[in-house]
Amino acid sequence: METPKNPTSIEHRIREGLSRLATAMRSDDWARAKAAGINPTQYAILELLEGRPHGLGVKEIALWLGVSQPTATDSILALERKSLVVKQTAVEDRRAAHVLLTEPGRTALAAGEAVHGTAEIATEPLSSAERTGLLMTLVTMIRQLQETGAIPIQRMCVSCRHFRPNVHPGEANLHHCAFIDAAFGPSELRIDCRDHEIADPAFRAATWDAFIEG
Ligand code: SF4
């Protein structure tokens, strides 16, 4: 059988594929937000604040979500009115107000998390090796975006000062987390770890080299 003539570039088709997944994820975002009784931007703010006991400033929230500061401010005000977040002035800098998740905010977040999403459905047919491979691909792509400045540094192992890649060669748990002093395998790499501490650029570069050499 003949192959189709003039296929679009592989980059183009990857973008098409990612775009289809993004559309499905957006619909997940709406379903989760609806279960929590808020809109997707407000829900994304609650997700961002989870595991950050000191909260985040409005500017940081806008940066993380890729929205304008006025949009972030409006969403935070709406969440404050529903008592899902609270603003607190930092002791060390009285000009900087931080936004923190409240207990009702945690409950709303849990209501959204109970929604079975398309990511789970989409990965159902994958073997565990394929899931780990996909996780590695995602880590690689997200790291590329953060290192080129397209997105802020995420709370991933590969940008964490506690990450020791491939220090247990030949073992299933070949990586090590110095924070909890425990070995872990590739399928346990974190994308958003609450214990993450950002490493400096030189450490991140050395860690990445050691990681991909393994
Ligand atoms: S603290 Fe979290 S992000 Fe850092 S290495 Fe340990 S598991 Fe990974």
Confidence of residue 183 (pLDDT cuts 50, 70, 90): very high
Task: Please indicate, yes or no, if residue 119 is contained in any of the structural domains.
Answer: no
Expressed in angstroms and rounded, the spacing between residue 194 Cα and the centre of ligand 1 is 8
Task: Give me the domain span that covers residue 79.
Answer: 10-113
Regarding whether 20 and 94 lie in a shared domain, the answer is yes
Shared domain for 142 and 70, answered yes or no, is no
Q: Of 113, 141, 158, which one is at a domain's C-terminal end? A: 113
Q: Do 105 and 75 share a structural domain?
A: yes
pLDDT tens digits, 48-103: 999 888 899 999 999 989 899 999 999 999 999 999 999 998 666 666 789 999 99
Distance set, CA 87 to CA 72, 91, 93, 187, 206 (Å): 13, 13, 14, 37, 38
Question: In terms of domains, do 49 and 105 share one?
Answer: yes
Residue 178: partners with Cβ closer than 8 Å, 6 or more residues away: 162, 163, 164
- Residue 102 belongs to some domain of the structure: yes
What atom in ligand 1 is closest to the CA of residue 156? 3
pLDDT tens, residue by residue, 93-142: 666 789 999 999 999 999 999 998 888 899 999 999 999 999 999 999 99
Place of tokens 């003039």: 6
- Indicate the residue among 113, 136, 151 that finishes a domain: 113
| Residues ≥6 apart with Cβ < 8 Å to 59 | 69
Same domain, 60 and 147: no
Pocket-forming residues, ligand 1, beta carbon under 6 Å: 157, 160, 162-163, 177, 179, 190, 193, 195-196
Once rounded to an integer, what is the mean pLDDT over residues 33-47? 96
For the entire predicted model, the pTM comes to 0.83
210 Cα to the center of ligand 1, angstroms: 16
182 CA to centre of ligand 1 in angstroms: 10
Q: How far apart are CA 192 and CA 135, in angstroms?
A: 13
Query: What atom of ligand 1 comes closest to residue 197's alpha carbon?
Result: 4
